[in-house]
């Protein structure tokens, strides 16, 4: 791997345990971090930018190549049972929600990319410390880690930027229509920096952090597994955005040079035009309330079944689609990312905090991805003096991200513990695992042993 550097902070237990379980030495170890997103929520799959950074929690995998194409997968944690499967270009999934599917997702994606040229499977042992269902991207870190492990087993180099482009599509194997933020951050993060990531094509640039401020992550204690209950709600948002594209196409009529692949195309097709103008435009076509597919098809001037098949709308998503407010969130959120980048470059912490607060309100009111516990945490955070506080990741539970002046961090934590975690000690026996401060970490690494 060209990007390989030393891995010095992880304990050796995964390597020792590998030898104990598989009866031979590991030949390589890979590390893939989780991420927290500062701003730009649910913009990535719309081709609009995000502002994340890697956290210091990660997935570590020790591995060794096998002569055949079998992958044997084990986890240090007993709750994740041993799995094995054969690598090919069309791998049948384990049951929905099974952790082994993230490994299969990576393997199938790489096999398709390499035209079947990965002759070796691997014995792998996973040791992760990213809380799952917390909106910190444990699943994508697992996909990235498995992909790097399989490439190491086959002695194949693929550039990280290429992996960051192909793994999001590979991860859709688990049934969630996610964008590319998580994999790109896990692979390409830079220590001490936030990233601005743009999509289609993928572009990444590093941004400075706000001096004198800490990023504090707090878990709402509500699990939001993207491959579980949150999947339908997440996928529905993706489809609502696809439908909003179609209504906008109709509204723009002959003023549109080509069909919209994503909402992000508006930036390239109408340079300099404020994105919020398109919100006013869609409101001339679609009222601000959920519509049925038949109503949307009538607005567009097409048949409902045709629209269903063109937008890949599955029956489990139901028949109520909110377009106006979803569009308002996505386009305003993209403008906030631009403004937030300027705030970082200008070292304007209060300005950045205000954008975080506005993002949270929009996630709650227009994208409807918050929940009671996240609201309580954000309210407490603001009362405790956070410059900015918002949900992070897909939403529906998981974590908040907070911008807190260094001098106020201890007071902030005491306040959050007292007002939120103490009343939930049954759910959170170890408070220190529920909220943490971190410095942005480096992206994924591979080391040969
Ligand atoms: C999840 C997805 C990402 C992104 C976020 C929301 O983490 O995996 O692609 O859409 O939700 O911003």
* Atom 9 of ligand 1, nearest CA residue: 179
**Rounded mean pLDDT, 275-289:** 92
Judge if the beta carbon of residue 394 lies within 6 A of ligand 1.
yes
Q: Which one is catalytic: 44, 127, 182, 198?
A: 182
pLDDT band with cut points at 50, 70 and 90 for residue 197: very high
Q: Is the pLDDT of residue 4 over 70?
A: no
CA distance 312 to 307: 8
> What is residue 1's predicted lDDT score, i.e. its pLDDT?
35
Q: Are 22 and 64 in contact (CB under 8 A)?
A: yes
Q: Tell me the C-alpha distance between 232 and 320, whole Å.
A: 13
**pLDDT of amino acid 132:** 86
What is the separation of C-alpha 38 from the centre of its chain, rounded to a whole number of angstroms?
A: 12
- Cβ of residue 171 lying under 6 Å from some atom of ligand 1: no
Q: What residues contact 92, with CB distance under 8 A and at least 6 apart?
A: none
The mean per-residue pLDDT over the stretch 303-322 comes to 97
Structure confidence at residue 6 (pLDDT): 43
Q: Give the Cα-Cα-Cα angle 249, 254, 258 (nearest 5 degrees).
A: 60
Whether ligand 1 lies within 6 angstroms of the CB of 443 is answered as no
Distance of CA 125 to the CA centre of its chain: 24
The strand order across the sheet containing 399-405 reads: 388-391, 399-405, 213-219, 435-437
Ligand 1 atom at shortest distance from the alpha carbon of 135: 7
Q: pLDDT category, 193, cuts 50, 70, 90?
A: very high
- The pLDDT-based confidence of 228 (bands split at 50, 70, 90) is confident
pLDDT band at 3 (very low <50, low <70, confident <90, very high): very low
Whether the per-residue pLDDT at 194 is higher than 50: the answer is yes
CA of 40 to the centre of ligand 1 (A): 10
| 28-39 and 70-75 strand pairing | unpaired
Residue 121 Cβ contacting ligand 1 at under 6 Å = no
* pLDDT confidence band for 229 (50 / 70 / 90): confident
State the distance from the centre of ligand 1 to the C-alpha of 102, rounded, in angstroms.
16
Task: Estimate to the nearest angstrom the gap between the alpha carbon of 287 and the chain centroid.
Answer: 30
Over 70: is that where the pLDDT of 12 sits?
yes
Q: Are 394 and 386 in contact (CB under 8 A)?
A: no
CB 120 within 8 A of CB 69: yes
With cut-offs at 50, 70 and 90, classify the pLDDT of residue 432: confident
SS3 28: strand
pTM for the full model? Answer: 0.96
What percent of the chain has a predicted confidence (pLDDT) above 70? Answer: 97
In angstroms, the Cα distances linking 107 to 112, 114, 123, 144, 249 are 9, 10, 13, 10, 37
Distance CA 176, CA 245 (A): 20
Catalytic site includes residue 182? yes
Extract the tokens encoding 99: 């952790």
Report how far apart the first and last C-alpha atoms of the chain are (Å, whole number). 13
Task: Tell me the pLDDT of the chain averaged across its residues.
Answer: 95
Q: What are phi and psi of 176, to 5 degrees?
A: -100, 140
Cα dihedral: 8, 11, 12, 14 (round 10)? -120
Q: Within a 10 A sphere around the Cβ of 46, how many other Cβ atoms?
A: 27
Cα dist from 263 to 44, 95, 158, 318, whole Å: 10, 34, 30, 23
| Ligand 1 pocket, mutate which of 394, 397, 400 (most atoms under 8 A from CB) | 394
60-100 per-position pLDDT tens digit: 999 999 999 999 999 999 999 999 999 999 999 999 999 99
Confidence of residue 9 (pLDDT cuts 50, 70, 90): low
Q: Give the confidence band of 10 by pLDDT, cuts at 50, 70, 90.
A: low
CB 27, CB 449: distance < 8 Å: yes
Q: For strand 70-75 and strand 122-128, is the pairing parallel, antiparallel, or unpaired?
A: parallel
- Spatial separation of the C-alpha atoms in residues 437 and 427, rounded to whole Å: 20
Q: What is the pLDDT of residue 5?
A: 42
256-to-35, 270, 442 alpha-carbon distances in Å: 36, 9, 41
Give dist(CA 73, CA 124) in Å, integer: 5
pLDDT value of residue 2: 34
The region of weakest confidence among 1-15, 145-159, 404-418 is 1-15
Quick check: 164 and 28 in contact, CB under 8 A? no
pLDDT value for 335: 97
Residue-wise pLDDT for 324-371, tens only, equals 999 999 999 999 999 999 999 999 999 999 999 999 999 999 999 999
- Is the per-residue pLDDT at 290 higher than 70? yes
Each residue of 102-128: pLDDT tens digit?
Answer: 999 999 999 999 999 999 999 999 999
Q: How many angstroms does the Cα of residue 298 sit away from the middle of ligand 1? A: 31
Instruction: For residues 192 and 430, give the distance between their C-alpha atoms in angstroms, rounded to a whole number.
Output: 27
**Is the peptide bond prior to 126 cis by the omega test (within 30 degrees of 0)?**
no
Share of residues in the chain with pLDDT > 90 (%): 91
Mean predicted confidence (pLDDT) in 242-267: 95
Mean of pLDDT values over 423-435:
85
Atom 2 of ligand 1, residue of closest alpha carbon: 178
Q: Does ligand 1 come within 6 angstroms of the Cβ of 146?
A: no
User: Average pLDDT, stretch 173-184?
Assistant: 96
Would you place residue 8 in the very low, low, confident or very high pLDDT band (cuts 50, 70, 90)?
Answer: very low
**Integer CA distances (angstroms), 248 to 295, 302, 323, in order:** 15, 14, 10
401 in contact with ligand 1, CB cutoff 6 A: no
- pLDDT on residue 11: 61
Q: How far is the CA of 16 from the centre of ligand 1 (A)?
A: 34
Cβ of residue 179 lying under 6 Å from some atom of ligand 1: yes
Residue 127 CA to residue 77 CA, distance in Å, equals: 7
Q: What is the mean pLDDT of residues 9-24?
A: 88
Task: Express each pLDDT in 206-227 by its tens digit.
Answer: 999 999 999 999 999 999 877 7
- The SS3 assignment for 49 reads coil
| Nearest protein Cα to ligand 1, atom 1 | 394
């Amino acid at each position: 791997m060209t990007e390989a550097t030393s891995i010095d902070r992880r304990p050796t237990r995964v390597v020792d345990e590998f030898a104990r379980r598989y009866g031979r030495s590991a030949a390589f170890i890979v590390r893939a971090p989780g991420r927290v997103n500062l701003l730009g929520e649910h913009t990535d799959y719309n081709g609009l930018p995000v502002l994340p950074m890697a956290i210091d929690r990660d997935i570590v995998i020790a591995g060794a190549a096998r002569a055949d194409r079998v992958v044997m997968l084990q986890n240090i944690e007993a709750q994740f049972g041993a799995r094995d499967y054969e690598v090919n270009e069309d791998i049948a999934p384990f049951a929905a929600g099974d952790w082994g599917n993230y490994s299969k997702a990576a393997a199938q994606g790489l096999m398709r990319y390499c035209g079947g040229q990965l002759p070796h499977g691997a014995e792998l042992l996973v040791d992760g410390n990213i809380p799952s269902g917390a909106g910190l991207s444990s699943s994508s870190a697992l996909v990235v880690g498995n992909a790097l492990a399989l490439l190491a087993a086959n002695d194949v180099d693929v550039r990280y930027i290429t992996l960051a482009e192909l793994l999001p599509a590979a991860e859709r194997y688990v049934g969630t229509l996610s964008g590319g933020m998580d994999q790109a951050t896990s692979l390409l993060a830079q220590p001490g920096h936030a990233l601005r990531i743009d999509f289609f094509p993928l572009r990444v640039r590093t941004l400075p952090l706000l001096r004198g401020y800490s990023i504090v992550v707090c878990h709402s204690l509500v699990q939001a597994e993207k491959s579980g209950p949150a999947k339908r709600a997440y996928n529905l948002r993706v489809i609502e955005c696809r439908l909003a594209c179609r209504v906008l196409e109709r509204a723009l009529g002959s003023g549109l040079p080509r069909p919209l692949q994503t909402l992000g195309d508006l930036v390239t097709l109408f340079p300099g035009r404020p994105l919020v103008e398109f919100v006013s435009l869609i409101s001339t076509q679609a009222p601000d309330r959920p519509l049925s597919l038949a109503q949307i098809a009538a607005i567009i001037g097409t048949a409902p079944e045709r629209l269903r098949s063109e937008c890949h709308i599955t029956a489990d998503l139901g028949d109520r689609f909110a377009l106006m407010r979803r569009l308002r969130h996505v386009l305003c959120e993209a403008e906030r990312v631009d403004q937030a980048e300027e705030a970082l470059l200008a070292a304007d912490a209060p300005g950045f905090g205000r954008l975080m607060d506005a993002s949270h309100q929009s996630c709650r009111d227009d994208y409807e991805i918050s929940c009671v516990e996240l609201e309580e945490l954000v309210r407490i955070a603001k009362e405790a003096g956070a410059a900015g506080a918002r949900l992070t990741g897909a939403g529906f539970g998981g974590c908040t991200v907070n911008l807190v002046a260094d001098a106020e961090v201890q007071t902030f934590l005491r306040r959050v513990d007292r007002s939120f975690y103490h009343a939930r000690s049954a759910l959170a026996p170890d408070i220190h695992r529920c909220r943490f401060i971190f410095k942005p970490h480096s992206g994924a690494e591979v080391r040969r042993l």
